[in-house]
Structure 1
């Protein structure tokens, strides 16, 4: 009953019913009842911002379910743990928890059911952290399991948002259409539908289908249940702001100097005021929405930087650069655009990279790729030799530095490139055109004198 009330967004009643179920389970020594009650309580605690309490409930539920061999409840507890970690803003921990949960689901024969939910949550977390290739692999494997229509729709929605970020508009539009067709109109779980609605709006915008985007925004603004699902509603609201003529993409234009003149804008402002911020991600999204109207983008940049979410960080940096240019602050704009370009290039976010490049060229703020990535001249020299297959000892000999110092330079440049290995760093350097591969293979070694 408690879980059903939660699905129906009757949260106070759900928490009360779960607390009573927990009490009865303890009295009757029914671990399965206790575990399910704790999972519902964890969901309500997470929604209220009590992240530590939610995680403690998840841990206890997992132990209880495992003690009586309730496989489905074990995996359900893993789902709730991942949700609690994401709400708390700890996405790296959420990734680890989702990976463990997926392994358990596969071991227990639940990969195509509860496992699909975990896969969608894992892919979403990986997407947020900039690990897009891994996210795509997770989604492909989950879809191969032929999950039920509801879970398949959620997976397709996540994949479609990734397609959009990479510039595959046709694939995103197809994913949005397929996801919409898979939802059962009678199912009450609106939170599963909202990512698909976000995808539909963003795909329509990317495809210049403005009439469709307007219609979808109209449907959004007439949905009274959105405040019940703030985690899913905030991204949808940000998509709605784009449709409301505040910009075709985050930061591509300055906010309307007279916000509130469009009735839809006022409605979106009212919706933003009604949405809760249960965690730091929602707080960053709230700051993003506020910046559309105030033009105050530095706090948005800071919020996404603290979360280490590179894609919205790059979008916020683009918006901050646009605002800085309007204020005549070209040095700040150049710095913001340089960082944004480096992030977009590393992610493979082609549409965003193109918008950044367009603004950079139009304002004559062009800088080199090494400037955008923040590589020092010495790090570029080291990278060139890494790409040629040199070891730290060989790099040290050629540059007249110790092998240990060469290793320090390698360690410093890898995170700037967003690379996990020397091989990845070399491949990215060539893709960004930092130097010519043929020249690197054929150029004679140049002996440099120590300075």
Structure 2
């Protein structure tokens, strides 16, 4: 043991033999029990997540220490600490610490084996895991690799991962933790996290993460409160080992406000008998015991405070400019005084508040000296393991602009390569702040300021901060040095960010960019700009312009031999041609786009985005899902899950709902909403969320969501015709469900306005909804303009080339059928039912509802009861509970009992011929094909099918076949 420093006071020697922390934890029995309960569930392979929140000093770390002491014999405990380096904190620090703790226990080789295919991605967090760049380094591979390692580690041995001080966590670490919360379905795993609640202000990035935790399946929140009078008494007596007087307890309580750490500090400074003996401020309280140490110990603590809350021994030793004996002796005394602790090979302050107080007490010269030494020590380390973010932090704290600037630019690039985009953006912002304070900044940065601005803007965009990305890219485009092709690229980026954030103006910016890249200058850049412009025209519904610009891009890219841009151009032209009426030509373009995209990940993703959407609109739901899901998987691999991946997910959600697979659609929807995608992609997902909430039967909930998100939806609708038509459908259906028919018609009649541009896949559903509202108005005795129906039918006729047109036509005709044009003709609804398989699942059950309504109007009560019962069953089974509720309400109004025995009358038994027809229906044959097989006319086959559906109480051919199979 190292001897005491010369001159150490005798009282100090005696004082340091005891600790001011009470041996018994006071007032946390319920919280400790809650942690133990969660651990018990984790041991049963029910993964648990617990967040412990509380003000600074309430004892979060002490609570965890007590909890972990009770699990040490049965569990593996892995800890990670978030560090307080402000906006220049390195990404993934606590996650890397957890992985290193595991590697030290099982060995690095076994840890890499646990990662499986993701082992290369771990090199982004653990340089010692390998020096080679991963073959496909992506953000999501990092998330999946960490999750896989921990999940496999927890298969045999209960594993508790502790991450403290989340209020200092970088967004990349939060992304990993969030992914773990979503990904874990089994294993003996428990994740415990703490944060300082008084530091999490409005707008703090941790708030979104905490909201995600609260929605988790196995999440638990523990909030620590302050101690009461009796608990303060118990703590004082546990520390002093003697009864506490009333005056002492009152003084300590009034000055500590019941915060355990302050109680310990107050008792530890020797004077608590009267108020005058207590320190006069929090800072004085925190520094009281520090100031009673000898000067060498104080100096050591100041050096450590400059290093952070947890400082590796070798780094601290490098920053300490006195003798090694002085260092070791001071460290020993500081530890014995309970001011610091030892965590592995690092020094940690007993409490972060103490470190903050000591650091704030540094003299300006000391601050510069100490942080300079830390920066130099970090820079002299192994380049492969160098923490450039920490280097930037220390140079910044030392107020050395040139070195801070260069380190920030380097750290920006490293954070980008590890997909820590928020950190990358912050490093870029710091470098830009210092630009004018640095000698020859362009040379130091290796790029002009506008390019640094552009990279910073892109980092903001990828991190999800759309407003900031737009603000920075506007400044970049306005830089005097940004001219010619460089400015064209910046304008194009600005146009992209506008599109991502549902803002107008993209087309004008792209036209300006094209003027800066005239023909025969840079064919590849010009082709790319033309493709972006064609995409904006396509989304705006100006299809002729989209086709023309995409054709120009296609020819230009072909001449330049650029297959990627050729694929994108063919893709855009194909979708536009299909929507304009040339379905066959458009399909040829799309096939060409897929072939040209082979081997190019980004081009293939763009193809899958547009192709999956087109397949869905064409009614090819299974194929659409297959294409979208392949794209989603690839987007995750490429680290663009929250951008392109969110768009593909939106494309998968719609056909999943259309097939009636609501649970799968809802799960995909929620996962992607949690990723906080850019505004426009978020709007697509929220639109599906509102729609499914409405048809799920929660009209009030849908209305609340719609009111909240309506500004964003309407903003997007101003720049995208498909979104405008989607919005018209959603707002019309919501108003219809609420009984606000006038408002519903106002929303639906957008399709008759001059602003409307035809997009058949969106027009046809809106036309059917408009017909529904028009019929409802007529039933209510409201007659609209005489030519409304005629004008609607004109749009319907114009879209007759669309493959699903017959089904939508049949639904439209049924809605406005009957003598009064109110949809009271059962035959019309039977005809619609024959086409129901081509429509989304909720409409198949809706057709059953309306068929029952028409049957009631015709006096066919027995048939109506069976039909409405099927609508209730089908709606509830699929998730379209709104249909079930409407069917039940209609039956109740008519006095029909739907809950009794569900047996058909004997006269509803199928004939032999009908059973033959039903077998062919089950095989998927059309009426014409059935007629050819049975040597009857198609019309006769249709009559048989209608009779079968009536007898079986089925609302569609598919449902009829399903019911028949159940009977057998």
Q: Out of 142, 151, 157, which is 2:687 matched to? A: 157
- 1:206 equivalent to 2:734? Answer no
Q: Secondary structure at the match of 1:62?
A: helix
Instruction: Tell me the residue number matched to 1:340.
Output: 871
Instruction: Tell me the residue number matched to 2:813.
Output: 290
Instruction: Tell me the residue number matched to 2:697.
Output: 167
Looking at secondary structure, tell me which structure has more strand per residue. 2
Q: Out of 663, 669, 676, which is 1:139 matched to? A: 669
Tell me, yes or no, if the aligned pair for 2:575 and 2:590 is still in contact at 8 Å: no
Distance 1:77 1:370, change over 3 A: farther
Deviation at 1:242, TM superposition (A): 4.3
Q: Secondary structure at the match of 2:642?
A: coil
Deviation at 1:117, TM superposition (A): 1.7
- 1:178 equivalent to 2:708? Answer yes
Tell me, yes or no, if the aligned pair for 2:717 and 2:723 is still in contact at 8 Å: no
Deviation at 1:55, TM superposition (A): 4.4
Q: Out of 788, 794, 809, which is 1:267 matched to? A: 788
Distance 1:268 1:151, change over 3 A: farther
Q: Secondary structure at the match of 1:297?
A: helix
Deviation at 1:324, TM superposition (A): 2.5
What is the rounded CA distance, in whole Å, between the counterparts of 1:113 and 1:230 in structure 2? 26
What is the rounded CA distance, in whole Å, between the counterparts of 1:372 and 1:149 in structure 2? 52
Tell me, yes or no, if the aligned pair for 2:541 and 2:757 is still in contact at 8 Å: no
Deviation at 1:180, TM superposition (A): 2.2
Q: From the CA coordinates, give the structure whose radius of gyration is larger.
A: 2
Instruction: Tell me the residue number matched to 1:107.
Output: 637
Deviation at 1:221, TM superposition (A): 5.7
Tell me, yes or no, if the aligned pair for 1:167 and 1:349 is still in contact at 8 Å: yes
Tell me, yes or no, if the aligned pair for 1:226 and 1:233 is still in contact at 8 Å: no
Tell me, yes or no, if the aligned pair for 1:51 and 1:87 is still in contact at 8 Å: no
Q: Deviations over 1:279-306 (max 9, x none)?
A: 34444223222222224222211111x3
Distance 1:103 1:55, change over 3 A: farther
Q: Secondary structure at the match of 1:118?
A: helix
Tell me, yes or no, if the aligned pair for 1:62 and 1:77 is still in contact at 8 Å: yes
Distance 1:283 1:133, change over 3 A: same
Distance 1:321 1:207, change over 3 A: closer
- 1:61 equivalent to 2:593? Answer yes
Q: What TM-score, normalized by structure 1, do the two folds share?
A: 0.71
Q: Which runs of 5+ in 2 are unaligned?
A: 1-529, 818-824, 905-958
1:5-404 aligned at under 5 Å gives the runs: 5-48=537-580, 51=583, 53-67=585-599, 69=600, 71-183=601-713, 184=715, 188-209=719-740, 212-213=743-744, 215-217=746-748, 220=750, 223-244=753-774, 246-247=775-776, 256=779, 261-263=783-785, 266-275=787-796, 276-294=799-817, 295=825, 296-304=828-836, 306-307=837-838, 309-363=840-894, 365-366=896-897, 371=902
Tell me, yes or no, if the aligned pair for 2:690 and 2:702 is still in contact at 8 Å: yes
Looking at secondary structure, tell me which structure has more helix per residue. 1
Deviation at 1:84, TM superposition (A): 2.6
Between 1 and 2, higher relative CO (CA 8 Å, sep ≥ 6) is seen in: 1
Distance 1:154 1:186, change over 3 A: closer
Tell me, yes or no, if the aligned pair for 1:42 and 1:58 is still in contact at 8 Å: yes
Distance 1:211 1:361, change over 3 A: closer
Q: Secondary structure at the match of 1:371?
A: coil
Instruction: Tell me the residue number matched to 1:433.
Output: none
Deviation at 1:171, TM superposition (A): 2.4
What is the rounded CA distance, in whole Å, between the counterparts of 1:138 and 1:167 in structure 2? 20
Q: Deviations over 1:56-79 (max 9, x none)?
A: 433432332343x3x332211001
Q: Deviations over 1:427-448 (max 9, x none)?
A: xxxxxxxxxxxxxxxxxxxxxx
Deviation at 1:227, TM superposition (A): 4.2
What is the rounded CA distance, in whole Å, between the counterparts of 1:227 and 1:114 in structure 2? 26
Deviation at 1:156, TM superposition (A): 0.7
Q: Deviations over 1:353-398 (max 9, x none)?
A: 122223334545535577389xxxxxxxxxxxxxxxxxxxxxxxxx
Deviation at 1:268, TM superposition (A): 4.9
Deviation at 1:169, TM superposition (A): 1.8
What is the rounded CA distance, in whole Å, between the counterparts of 2:896 and 2:745 in structure 1? 35
Deviation at 1:51, TM superposition (A): 5.0
Tell me, yes or no, if the aligned pair for 1:318 and 1:340 is still in contact at 8 Å: yes
Tell me, yes or no, if the aligned pair for 1:154 and 1:193 is still in contact at 8 Å: no
Distance 1:5 1:190, change over 3 A: closer
* Number of residue pairs aligned between Structure 1 and Structure 2: 369
What is the rounded CA distance, in whole Å, between the counterparts of 2:624 and 2:751 in structure 1? 31
Q: Secondary structure at the match of 1:153?
A: helix
Deviation at 1:186, TM superposition (A): 9.0
Q: What TM-score, normalized by structure 2, do the two folds share?
A: 0.35
Q: Secondary structure at the match of 1:109?
A: coil
What is the rounded CA distance, in whole Å, between the counterparts of 1:64 and 1:173 in structure 2? 45
Tell me, yes or no, if the aligned pair for 2:680 and 2:716 is still in contact at 8 Å: no
What is the rounded CA distance, in whole Å, between the counterparts of 2:769 and 2:861 in structure 1? 29
Q: Which runs of 5+ in 1 are unaligned?
A: 249-254, 374-412, 418-424, 426-451
Deviation at 1:272, TM superposition (A): 3.8
Tell me, yes or no, if the aligned pair for 2:659 and 2:841 is still in contact at 8 Å: yes
Tell me, yes or no, if the aligned pair for 1:132 and 1:347 is still in contact at 8 Å: yes
Tell me, yes or no, if the aligned pair for 1:152 and 1:179 is still in contact at 8 Å: no
1:402-413 aligned at under 5 Å gives the runs: none
